[in-house]
Amino acid sequence: MNSVTNKSIRDDIFEAINNIFGFNIIKFSKIELGHMNLKWHIKTDIGDLFVKQYNKTRYPEQMIQGLETSLNHQNNLYNEGIPCPELYSHKGNYVMKSSYGERFVLMGLCEGSNIKAGTANEGQMYSLGKVIGKMHKLLNSNKTVHLPLHWNVRSKESMIDLWKDRWNEAISLDCSNTLSKLEIQREIIEKNDVDIFSECEKGWGHWDLFVDNILFKTNSVSALLDFDRMHYVYPEFDISRPILSCCLEKGQIHINRVSAFVKGYQEYQALTNQKLVRSIKLTWWKEAEWLRANIQNSSPLNRFNEENTWVAENWDDLDSLFANIDFLE
């Protein structure tokens, strides 16, 4: 998209907001975070709001109903006291359309700040554990509903095939650093099988909880953001993903901060050493395919690969690493 197209999309969406809600947009600023979707912070005569456009390539029409389901969960969580943005709806839908067919959402703007990966403090992690534990309890209290998984664990054979493609790519690009990391991946894949995930619990999860999607105050969570990827998957992703994102710094995991998260989470949901380690390995298994030689210049993807490499290097020691955390078993 060029700047002219972006401007026409913006003007079209802003006009729709004015027509639907009667808000006067006094001032706006573009938000650069995210992939392909356009985002703005707008100042209106009723206060500050957030607008997100859904790119038609990234979110084709057949995905919109799934988005509505995810956003409906967000709305329910907001009403139950989970810190997240308040959504606006029109004619029963959260995803609205402009005159020229641009899909967008409108929601309240939350206070708080993003932090640099790996730098959360104990107070922030305790608060984050509490919020995620409560969210999981609210989302998955009705165990009578069994839905098909949005994503399932790749088979060992599929993992090996994908690994071979990335290995050959790294050889062709003469990337020795990636080759050494892929060798560690190969050893893990060959000595493990998907049965290590057989006890993973199924349910609704946010599925994208890393530092870009969490706002913090000095010693607490201010808001969870971006519920677009919420699906019926393995909620354990919501344990390991924020722990790795918030507690791994310069190749070292801050155990005291992980312990604070565990303490908060256990106020609402059970969590054992076995489950914590399994969740970390599950995230590794899912994200292993992102490690490759020709990685795009993406800050989140580079960070995910840093975390993936750390998990691989500590795979056999994860149980002992977290052994001194006070799990309520």
Domain boundaries, the chain: 3-108, 122-321
Q: So what's the pLDDT on residue 36?
A: 84
Portion of the chain with pLDDT greater than 90, in percent: 90
Q: Which bin fits 251, alpha (ψ -120 to 50), beta or left (φ > 0)?
A: left
Q: So what's the pLDDT on residue 60?
A: 92
In CATH, what is the architecture of 3-108? 2-Layer Sandwich (3.30)
Q: So what's the pLDDT on residue 196?
A: 95
Q: What are phi and psi of 267, to 5 degrees?
A: -70, -15
Q: What are phi and psi of 102, to 5 degrees?
A: -80, 130
List all residues 6 or more positions away from 268 whose beta carbon is below 8 Å from its beta carbon: 130, 133, 134, 136, 137
Return the sign of the alpha-carbon dihedral for residues 243, 247, 251, 255: negative
What whole-number distance in Å separates Cα of residue 221 and Cα of residue 238?
15
Task: Determine the Cα angle at 20 with ends 16 and 24, to 5°.
Answer: 75
Instruction: Name the band, by pLDDT with cuts 50, 70 and 90, for residue 329.
Output: low
Assess whether pLDDT exceeds 80 at residue 291.
yes
Assess whether pLDDT exceeds 50 at residue 59.
yes
Tell me if 265 sits within 8 A of 131, measured CB to CB: no
Q: Average model confidence (pLDDT) for the chain?
A: 94
What whole-number distance in Å separates Cα of residue 287 and Cα of residue 236?
14
Q: So what's the pLDDT on residue 5?
A: 84
Of 99, 17, 8, 103, the closest CA to residue 62 belongs to: 103
Instruction: Name the band, by pLDDT with cuts 50, 70 and 90, for residue 144.
Output: low
Residue range 42-53, pLDDT digits in tens: 999 999 999 999
Of 208, 240, 242, the closest CA to residue 226 belongs to: 208
Tell me if 318 sits within 8 A of 282, measured CB to CB: no
CA atoms within 13 A on the CB side of 212: 15
Q: What's the CATH fold of domain 122-321?
A: Aminoglycoside 3'-phosphotransferase; Chain: A, domain 2 (3.90.1200)
Residue type, 94: Y
Interhelix angle 237-247/122-139, rounded to 10 degrees, is: 170
Give the number of other CB atoms < 10 A from CB of residue 292: 20
